[in-house]
Amino acid sequence: MKQKRADRIGLAIVGAGRVGLMRGEIAARFPQVDWIGIAEIDPARGQFVAEKIGADFVTTDYRQLLKRPEVTAALISTVGHLHADPTLVALENPNKVALLIEKPISNSLAQSEQVLRAIDQAGVDALIGYTQRFRRRWLVAKDKVASGALGDVATVSSRALLNRMVALNNYKRQEDPTPNSPMVISGTHALDIVMWMMDGRTPVELYARSVDKALGPLCLGTDATAGTMTFSDGSIYNSMVNWALPVSWPGAVYGLEVSVVGTTGAMTIDDSHSDFVLASSDAQGMGYVADASRRVDFVGSTPAGDMALGALRGPLYEETQSWLMRLSTGMRTVHATAAEGHHRLMLAKAYDLSARIKAPVSLPISPQD
């Protein structure tokens, strides 16, 4: 979709949690942003963030915010399973509001499909927050594959390891833990990176298995899922994501390793962050929660980036700044589209489906599956 230039940006932020605040601070410093509104169900939190970023309007009702005439762009940063409804409301604004939606669009494949159809019908520019695309190493890896530096890709593998703080934080938000699987919530980042590099190849079959030895006894769902995906050209992708590592594991959030092997070259990427270690006699508060057992951190393992010298540095800054530049200048960016976001959710759900029935599944799957 060809982007139009925007003389001004009126930004609506739906959900003023950690991500809403970080993106809001970045937007408040962007020259074309001349109006910011916040919708946050916690009035105290909403007022705090509004004062922090100098917002012009704050409410507890996202419908009231998204229908305002000042709004030309919206950031949907609520809790993950609540992205769909505010997205649909934003599409009703006659300004054709541009959207940056935190992943996933929904943790329901049927609802995600519904929202994607509405986005297409509205003809708006809707993007999904796959922040890891903005780490330099993944940008370079994408370029190497796309430029043919490896020849014809034959195999890809990925291993994602997450501190269980992520799982605990997500499972406590919903009574039913089933939709919040490690693939849907966290493995999807590795999945997007790999599918981005494998652009143009069509996945046709997937076989996966899951294990629940650590979180299962706590009635909190799945620890890990591993699987093999086959593409129509014969290439294969082998993956594993485990989000049940101990809270004392040094990774504040995410560690990822990827290897790509082609007919004329190979590439390995270590994004585990074990090259930057901070140890302290005091508890480390990095990541999702402060915990007295955490005394060592892999600095940089929080996907958003790191606070340094009073400002956020890293992929979330780059992603947000790039989105605002996209809106104000019409420049091309590497953001994931809404269609790609829905596709990644479909694949994540296919992992869970295959693991549940203990059999291969043909791709793509449908909401009925």
For residue 286, what pLDDT is reported?
54
158 against 79, higher pLDDT: 158
The answer to whether 7 touches 330, Cβ cutoff 8 Å, is no
Would you tell me how many other CB atoms lie within 10 Å of the CB of residue 319? Answer: 27
Residue 143 sits at the vertex; the CA angle it makes with 138 and 145, to the nearest 5 degrees, is 95
pTM summary value: 0.93
For residue 284, what pLDDT is reported?
66
Average pLDDT of the residues in 352-364 = 97
- Rg of the chain, C-alpha, whole Å: 20
For residue 180, what pLDDT is reported?
77
Q: State how far the Cα of 230 lies from the Cα of 59, in Å rounded to an integer.
A: 48
Q: pLDDT for 173-218, tens place per residue? A: 766 766 778 999 889 999 999 999 999 999 999 999 999 999 888 7
Specify the DSSP class assigned to residue 106: -
Q: State how far the Cα of 95 lies from the Cα of 86, in Å rounded to an integer.
A: 15
Q: pLDDT for 157-174, tens place per residue? A: 999 999 998 888 877 776
Q: State how far the Cα of 230 lies from the Cα of 120, in Å rounded to an integer.
A: 29
Considering the chain, what percentage of its residues have pLDDT values greater than 90? 78
Q: pLDDT for 100-130, tens place per residue? A: 999 999 989 999 999 999 999 999 999 999 9
Residue 4 has pLDDT above 90, yes or no: no
Average pLDDT of the residues in 278-296 = 72
Residue 140 has pLDDT above 90, yes or no: yes
User: Helix (H, G, I), strand (E, B), or coil: what is residue 286?
Assistant: coil
For residue 287, what pLDDT is reported?
53
Give residue 1's pLDDT band: very low, low, confident or very high (50, 70, 90).
very low
Q: Which residues partner with 14 through β-bridges?
A: 39, 76
Q: State how far the Cα of 76 lies from the Cα of 87, in Å rounded to an integer.
A: 7
Q: pLDDT for 291-306, tens place per residue? A: 677 888 898 998 888 8
Residue 225 has pLDDT above 60, yes or no: yes
Give residue 248's pLDDT band: very low, low, confident or very high (50, 70, 90).
confident
For residue 3, what pLDDT is reported?
59
Residue 288 has pLDDT above 60, yes or no: no
Residue 289 has pLDDT above 70, yes or no: no
Q: Which domains does the chain have, with CATH numbers?
A: 9-102+319-334 (3.40.50.720), 134-303+347-351 (3.30.360.10)
359 against 165, higher pLDDT: 359
Average pLDDT of the residues in 39-52 = 97
